[in-house]
Structure 1
Amino acid sequence: MGQVLDRIMQHADEIRADAAEGETLMRLTDASAKSLRDSGVIRMLQPKEYGGFESHPREFAETVMATAALDGATGWVAGIVGVHPWALAAFDDKAQNEIWGADNDMWMASPYAPMGVAVPTDGGYVLNGRWSFSSGTDHCGWVMIGAAVGDKDGNRTGQILHVVLPRSDYEIDADSWNVVGLRGTGSKDLIVKDAFIPTYRTIDAEIVLSGQGWKHAGRDETLYKFPFSYIFPLGITSALIGMTEGALACYVAAQKERVQVSGIPIKEDPYVLFAISEAAAEISASRVSLLEMVDRFWDKTEKGVEISFAERAEGRRTQVSAAWRATRAMDEIFARAGGAAAHLNTPMQRFWRDAHVGLTHAIHVPGLIYHSAALTQLGGDPQGAYRAMI
């Protein structure tokens, strides 16, 4: 799907130019959202029968990286909203037809965290709750969110659902997103009050998390057999790596003619030159390790070989490590960028802020992931929370 990336790059200057306004608006500008929509990036993982491309996840990741290197917030929205069509492909056909039947460019926001409660009723559930961090939500007509199933008194039972509902059934808290980085993502809170969710617009989260969504939907395409625990974080980690690539590009452009206070041109300072090469190599290694794992998982999935828990744990460890490695490398060059890099009218500081906020996302927290990956290597069998998002 090189054509998708080509279409994004045709609007590269506009996306870069709109980044500052997006920060002020605390959402993508309408022009940036239109550039994403027109490019088709949100349809890359969407089923072909609904106007999607069913692209290789590597191509999706590379496209998200390139977009985030133009503007972190735009890449972040592409990476997160772009995964939701993959998730919807596991739902009942009736839900897919309802959302894509009239408009195959319909966007869905998230999050999947079960912050609300769905109480069973005739034909479905009644949903209430408040969800945080709904990236790109101002430009979406539907939302896919997690919900705990409750009893008649609203007490959580332990079962988790993923549910979809239209924009008319939830409220966006416009004042809930005022942050230091990724401001342009508009990752605002959603409020749902007594919304009826028909059963066909729900799916047991365990079906998705266990990698059986493709069976539930009667699909046989390699793309939809991919492990959820790898493809969902893929867009997020790809966006973060793209931000560090954008920061590196800004740094190199600014340093070419820079002369230090000492009077020594940057080009003649061996210590700075070493730091540039070291950072570039680390960011490149982060990118390569992420994409290599995608290719490895794809090849096994295409051959009908199940991805084991140990392999999934390695894959998640690779994602987390890539994000931290690239961010640390970016820090090394930002610290050598001079005071001018801190001015708010320069893009490098925005990449730096965006990447650090991106690193705080739950999928980039290393503790449980590293624990589980190492324990599995040593012959252990992680249980409970140590299997979460693996």
Structure 2
Amino acid sequence: MSTYENRFPADREANRSYLLDAVASVADALAAGRDESEQERRLSPMSVEALRSSGLFMLKTPREVGGAEAHPVVQMDVIEAVVMIDPAAAWCMFITAAVSGATLAQLPDASVEEVLADGFPFMAGALRPGGMARRADGGYRVSGRWAWGSGVEHSDWVMVPVFCDGPPLIRALVPTSEVILHDNWHTLGMRGTGSGDYELDDVFVPDRFATDLLAAEQMRGGTLHRLGLPAYVVNEHGSFAYALGRLALQTMRDAAIEKKRGYLGGTSIADRQVFQRAIGQGTIRMNACAAGMAEVLERMFDSAAAGPPDPALVTEAQAVAVWCTDEATEVVSGLFRYAGGSAVMLANHMQRILRDIYTVQSHLMVSDVGYESFGRVVLGMDPGGGLP
């Protein structure tokens, strides 16, 4: 395989600074595209181009093929920085980063060369297996339909986890031109992510673009790519949730002095003790979430230095991600009470944040089952396996 130029520093802190500078470099473009994304129910072209040019899609890509391969805690900081600009852009960013990183860590060299021939692509994909792949000469014929295809309309490639009559599960990589897209993303929140369904109808996937989902060899990448699921993605959902909470806190702080309640002029909500308590307590809760998520990720990542991570730590990390989501949902909901009548308008930032947090809390990765699994660990029982 040819050598890929790598612009990302190997040192962890230098890598973090580089990635955060990349976020800052496209902040204006992402902010400018935010409302269009919301209205069109997919990322605006301006936002897509900004994410492409920034290199942020390479957040999890192995260093051997030019990626950042950032530590999970560094990823948290990057995700938060983008959430503070546009949550929809942040969601699509970490989805394509996870899909492309996992895919490029396992594909054969020749397949990686083909995928990266025209530059780094925008990849979309699903977490939950579905459909059916049947063995054919030189590959598989795949049919099925998958939901939550965040960013799929802008993608170049789509990864599908699919049941198979050979290996039990395979990961199939398909050009988006061969995928049927369904315009059914009419949702409460996260509207700008374009997370509609997509379908494959008897599409041929050659062997070079299919890997065994359960037993594929790690071709490249370090500790990050030994984590497996759900450990590989759990940081994304926890950090996204508390970042939404912090965005709500910032939005309400910015509005607090001007915001008055009452029919005859009223008083600033910043002068009300009940609001002061809500802001102070909410800030502490989101800080605790960030610290708790980072602490368990450090331990989990260290446990994977020489092999798969400790299953008990993976279970704990997933439970913490659920907790971050629950805490953020409560904080955002509590703050919304002080946003006043203008917050019922669709263009209001607090209303959008409220809709977004209620949408992401329904995701598979932050199911209450995460608490149950960790509870079994605490009780000295087997945590059970894999995703909820």
- Do they superpose with TM above 0.5? yes
Task: Determine which of 264, 278, 302 is the counterpart of 2:281.
Answer: 278
Contact 2:169 2:212 in 1 (8 A): yes
3-state SS of the aligned residue for 1:64? helix
Are residues 1:162 and 2:176 paired?
A: no
Where 2:185 maps in the other structure, the secondary structure is coil
Runs of 4+ in 1 over 3 A off after TM superposition: none
**Residues 46 and 305 (structure 1), Cα distance of their counterparts in 2 relative to 1, 3 Å cut:** closer
Match of residue 204, structure 1, among 212, 215, 239:
212
In the alignment, which residue of structure 2 is the partner of 1:172?
181
Q: Is the contact between residue 69 and residue 244 of structure 1 (CA under 8 Å) also seen in structure 2?
A: no
Per-residue deviation, 1:247: 1.7
Match in the other structure for 1:319: 321
Aligned residues: 370
Which region of structure 1 is more displaced relative to structure 2, 4-13 or 355-364? 4-13
The amino acid that maps onto 1:28 is: L
SS at 1:315 equivalent:
helix
CA contact (8 A) 1:132 1:190 kept: yes
Q: What is the alpha-carbon distance in structure 1 between the residues aligned to residue 157 and residue 221 of structure 2?
A: 26
How far off its partner does 1:85 sit?
A: 2.3
Structure 1 letter corresponding to 2:337: A
Name the % identity.
Answer: 28
Q: Which residue of 2 aligns with 1:247?
A: 248
Shift of 1:192: 0.9
RMSD: 2.0
- Consecutive unaligned residues in structure 1, runs of 5 or more: 152-157, 208-212
Q: TM-score, structure 1 length as denominator?
A: 0.89
2:220, 2:31 → 1: CA distance? Answer: 39
1:198: Cα distance to partner?
A: 1.5
The alignment's TM-score, normalised by the length of structure 2, stands at 0.90
Map of 2:138 onto structure 1: 123
**What's the offset of the Cα at 1:306?**
4.8
Once residues 347 and 14 of structure 1 are traced to their aligned partners in structure 2, the CA distance between those partners, rounded to angstroms, is 18
SS in 1 for 2:42: coil
Q: In structure 2, do the counterparts of structure 1 residues 74 and 359 end up closer, same or farther at CA, with 3 Å as the change threshold?
A: same
- The question of 1:93 aligning with 2:102 is answered no
Give the structure 2 partner of residue 154 of structure 1: none
Matches of residues 295-374 of structure 1 in structure 2 within 5 Å? Answer: 295-302=298-305, 304=306, 306-366=308-368, 368-374=369-375
CA distance in 1, matches of 2:344, 2:20: 30
SS at match of 2:162: strand
1:388 pairs with 2:383: no
Task: Report how far residue 17 of structure 1 moved.
Answer: 3.2
SS in 1 for 2:107: coil
SS at match of 2:231: helix
* Structure 1 counterpart of 2:32, one-letter code: A
Tell me the alpha carbon deviations over residues 104-132 of structure 1, each in whole angstroms, 9 at most, x when there is no partner: 42121001322211011112110011111
> Contact 2:238 / 2:320 at 8 angstroms: preserved in 1?
no
Structure 2 residue ranges without an equivalent (≥5): 1-14
Select the structure with the greater relative contact order (CA < 8 A; seq sep ≥ 6): 1
2:129 to 92, 114, 118: 114
| Contact kept in structure 2, 1:67 and 1:75, CA below 8 Å | yes
For 2:107, the aligned partner's letter is F
Q: Deviations over 1:285-305 (max 9, x none)?
A: 112211222222223333x36
Contact kept in structure 2, 1:22 and 1:29, CA below 8 Å? yes
CA distance in 2, matches of 1:80, 1:220: 18
Aligned partner of 1:59: which letter? V
Match of 2:200 among 189, 192, 202: 192
- Mapped partners of 1:105, 1:276: distance in 2: 41
Residue 370 to residue 387, structure 1, CA distance change in 2 (3 Å): same
1:61 to 68, 76, 91: 76
